[in-house]
């Protein structure tokens, strides 16, 4: 406890000394220097605050340790006190006298120490004042010297900076002037180059444009001639199509071209007579295989119709956007298609020589689309007259389906032949297995013979190893003699 008290007293004395120095400096220092020493004072204050914090933490730690030590000491002394209580009671009387004497001596010693402490504190205070005055004078002198040195350095630095800035400004101005002159020269060169290239490019493009214009004019002139030729051709085609028989021939030619492309020549027939007793001849009839295997055929009639007049009337009415004319033209086209279907039904559908339905071919897709647009026409023709209306695209798909059916039927007819061929192959394969077995036996016999010959060859080699070898010259002579003898034979 006495040691802790001494430590705390020393720290308090140190704090008081520092505070005293700061106070004296603030009092004795001029007003203009107080601002310069303000950072030093702040640092001192922070250091004092830190010391106080450390002192408080040290005090708390010391108190905690003392309390723990006292508690442990109390626990250990409780037993000893009980044991020594009687001895202490006996010793108290003698100790009381000793304590009284010690108290008197302690009081006297304390008085002397107090007087000595007062004297020491007085001397210490005087010494502190003296040292503080000296330190204040030394600090003032050092600060003055530092201020003068800093002022001189700042002036020198300002002079150097001004000189460097002046030199840098002159250098930059010179470089900027050179860059400006160089840029002006390059810009002038670029302007001349651009003008030359622009002039050349304009001349080239103008000449190319004039050339293209002249070529286009020539092409337009040629196109006008071709248009005139095409107009005359269209006029000729219109004259051809104005004749009913010519239109029918065009439909037949188109239908024949499709049939030739999709079917084989033996799969359809031209100008087929469905009835042996009648004179009616259908343009084309597709040959379908019969149900029996006797090679009989059933024919599917295909007739081409081209009601161009009714269709042109409808197109003209649609261009005029006249609903009355459009309805009348559609009725006319409907009647024409129905009449054609009726003729096909009455003339060409003759079961069992033909199928119970026929095909009505329309050469134009637009005409076919117009018929399909009115679903009642298509349904009535199919239901009442057993006639199916087809166009160039749909008849191609239909013929493709028929072609696939023909191939399937041919495969079915040839399946028996394929089965017989497979049976013959199976028989031949059995014979081949027998021959292969015999060959395997022969190979095994040959292998055994080769193995026996190899075994004998090894035995002969072992016996020959025991025979002494002849010199090379004698061997050559003997071999030559044997060769001559073989040649004689």
CA-closest candidate to residue 368, choices 318, 331, 333, 322: 333
The most distant pair of C-alpha atoms in the chain lies apart, rounded to whole Å, by 177
- Specify the pLDDT at position 291: 60
Q: What pLDDT score does 439 carry?
A: 73
- Render pLDDT for 338-366 as a digit per residue (tens, 0 to 9): 888 888 888 888 888 888 888 888 888 88
pLDDT digits (tens, 9 = 90+) for 381-415: 888 888 888 888 888 888 887 777 777 766 666 65
Are 287 and 297 in contact by the 8 Å Cβ rule? The answer is yes
Q: Provide the whole-model pTM.
A: 0.38
Domain ranges of the chain: 1-62, 184-242, 246-420
For residue 274, pLDDT beyond 80: yes
For 175-189, what is each residue's pLDDT tens digit? Answer: 878 888 887 887 788
Return the pLDDT at 244.
46
Cα dihedral 385, 391, 392, 398 sign: negative
Residue 273 has pLDDT above 70, yes or no: yes
In this predicted structure, what is the pLDDT of residue 326?
82
The residue-averaged pLDDT of 8-37 equals 56
Identify the residue whose tokens are 């084989």: 264
Q: What is the mean pLDDT of residues 298-320?
A: 81
User: What is the pLDDT at residue 229?
Assistant: 60
| 323-348 vs 365-373: helix crossing angle, rounded to 10 | 100
What integer pLDDT is reported at residue 293 of this predicted model?
57
């Amino acid at each position: 406890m006495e040691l802790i008290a001494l430590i705390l007293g020393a720290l308090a004395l140190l704090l008081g000394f520092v505070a005293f120095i700061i106070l004296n400096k603030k009092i004795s220092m001029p007003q203009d220097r107080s601002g310069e020493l303000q950072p030093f004072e702040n640092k001192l204050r922070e250091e004092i605050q830190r010391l106080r914090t450390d002192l408080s933490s040290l005090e708390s730690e010391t108190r905690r340790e003392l309390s723990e030590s006292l508690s442990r000491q109390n626990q250990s002394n409780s037993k000893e006190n009980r044991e020594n209580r009687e001895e202490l009671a006996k010793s108290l009387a003698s100790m009381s006298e000793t304590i009284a004497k010690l108290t008197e001596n302690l009081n006297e010693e304390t008085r002397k120490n107090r007087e000595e402490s007062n004297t020491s504190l007085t001397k210490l205070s005087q010494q502190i004042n003296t040292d503080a005055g000296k330190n204040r004078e030394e600090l003032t002198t050092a600060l003055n010297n530092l201020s003068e040195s800093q002022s001189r350095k700042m002036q020198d630095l300002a002079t150097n900076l001004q000189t460097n800035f002046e030199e840098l400004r002159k250098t930059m101005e010179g470089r900027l002037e050179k860059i400006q002159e160089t840029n002006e020269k390059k810009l002038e060169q670029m302007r001349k180059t651009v003008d030359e290239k622009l002039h050349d490019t304009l001349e080239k493009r103008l000449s190319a444009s004039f050339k293209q214009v002249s070529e286009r004019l020539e092409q337009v002139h040629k196109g006008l001639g071709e248009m005139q030729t095409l107009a005359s051709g269209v006029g000729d085609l219109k004259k051809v199509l104005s004749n009913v028989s010519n239109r029918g021939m065009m439909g037949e030619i188109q239908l024949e071209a499709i049939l030739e492309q999709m079917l084989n020549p033996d799969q359809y027939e031209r100008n087929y007579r469905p009835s042996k007793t009648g004179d009616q001849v259908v343009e084309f009839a597709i040959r379908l295989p019969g149900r029996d295997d006797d090679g009989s055929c059933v024919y599917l009639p295909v007739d081409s119709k081209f009601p161009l007049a009714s269709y042109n009337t409808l197109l003209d009415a649609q261009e005029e956007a006249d609903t009355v004319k459009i309805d009348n033209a559609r009725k006319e086209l409907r009647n024409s298609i129905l009449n054609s279907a009726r003729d096909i039904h009455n003339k060409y559908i003759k079961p069992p020589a033909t199928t119970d339905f026929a095909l009505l071919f329309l050469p134009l897709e637009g005409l076919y689309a117009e018929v399909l647009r009115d679903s009642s026409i298509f349904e009535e023709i199919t239901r009442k007259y057993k006639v199916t209306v087809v166009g160039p695209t749909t008849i191609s798909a239909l013929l493709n389906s028929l072609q696939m059916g023909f191939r399937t039927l041919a495969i079915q007819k040839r399946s028996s032949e394929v089965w017989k061929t497979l049976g013959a192959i199976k028989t031949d394969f059995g014979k081949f297995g027998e021959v292969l077995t015999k060959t395997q036996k022969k190979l095994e016999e040959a292998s055994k013979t080769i193995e026996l010959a190899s075994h004998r060859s090894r035995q002969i080699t072992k016996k020959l190893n025991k025979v002494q070898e002849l010199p090379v010259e004698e061997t050559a002579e003997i071999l030559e003699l044997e060769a001559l003898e073989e040649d004689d034979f």
